[in-house]
Structure 1
Amino acid sequence: MGYGDTVIQEQVIDISAGGVYTEPSRLDHYTWAKNGEVVLQVVGSENSKRVAINKAL
């Protein structure tokens, strides 16, 4: 998980199974999985949108 509109691998935050994170309002962020299956649950209090980006890292 990381913040911004560009993936910078050195600044990525690792979230292990069962982990939780928060993000500031109106800040771009991204998630991805290096290996295995991932279940991502998103809960919010305002309107939001998702943009899927399929880029090889």
Structure 2
Amino acid sequence: MASLAEKEREIEAVRDRLHLLVEQKCGNFADREVSELSSYLDRLIVEYELANARQMKGK
């Protein structure tokens, strides 16, 4: 299982990729690739938040 720090790094890497992709697509947020990467980022953030909540609950 990935640590919170690893999850944070992955989120930031995907966020950077998404930013560049949006620039390449001239701001077209409806583009399929942009939408898919954005959804992936959303899933990563939810996973991070759930893992963080579990960790906080365990303390």
Using structure 1 for the length normalisation, give the TM-score: 0.23
Identify, as 1 or 2, the structure richer in strand: 1
Larger Rg: 2
Q: Which has the higher contact order (CA 8 A, sep 6+)?
A: 2
**TM-score using structure 2 length:** 0.22
